[in-house]
Amino acid sequence: MVPGGVIDDLARQYADRPVVFVEQDAFAPIGERISRFWAAHTGSSTSTPLVIVDSGHQCTNGAVDYHSVYSGMVDQELARPPEAEIAASYARVGDRIRADIQLKNLSENTLSVENEASVHLIVYEDKHVGQTARIVRAAPWAEITTELVPSATMTLTLETPDLSGVDWSKLHIIALADYRPGGESGPYDMLQAAIASPVALPHKLYLPFLRR
């Protein structure tokens, strides 16, 4: 496993950059994020920790020089231009989080079911449960079923299941879009991500947030 504090140290190192480190239990996966790990991993065997950046554009696993390898992966991703504009607002509705998401395709590819394009909401809590201080609590997602051609924009709403046992004041919400450049094979790649802004329903506020 990752030596204690490594990821938290990296989170502090990149605190002034558009970078978020989150953790999910590989044996109790939430949403569809775990498929991004397995799609990115090409070896015949794997060991924990299994780490990806940008939905699987880069991947590593097992015992490595954690700080230098992880920071190197992040630095490479920060140098890449975004392929989408994404903005989101959210509100608590009962024991759920509901988010409105706006996505503009800046890539040269049409986003569709053919390249498994989708939009995800990652809800994480500032709490040390496993190896880091940021544990994923929910990850609803939706496929992009209507073709989103270059320069086109779409909006959609995602909602979590009921959340229990969480500290609502320590929850954070990220919206992201990704796709599979190779069509139905190969790793996924993230187009862009955004930190969702809290608002009171029914008002909507879209706050752009560039990852890189």
Q: Say if CB 50 and CB 58 are below 8 A apart.
A: no
User: Over the stretch 104-118, which tens digit does the pLDDT of each residue have?
Assistant: 999 999 999 999 999
The phi-psi region of residue 136 (left if phi > 0; otherwise alpha if psi is between -120 and 50; otherwise beta) is: beta
Domain spans of the chain? 6-78, 84-198
Q: According to CATH, what is the number of the domain 84-198?
A: 2.60.40.10
User: Over the stretch 52-78, which tens digit does the pLDDT of each residue have?
Assistant: 999 999 999 888 999 999 999 999 999
User: Over the stretch 152-176, which tens digit does the pLDDT of each residue have?
Assistant: 999 999 999 999 999 999 999 999 9
Q: Read off the pTM.
A: 0.89
Least confident of 33-42, 89-98, 162-171: 33-42
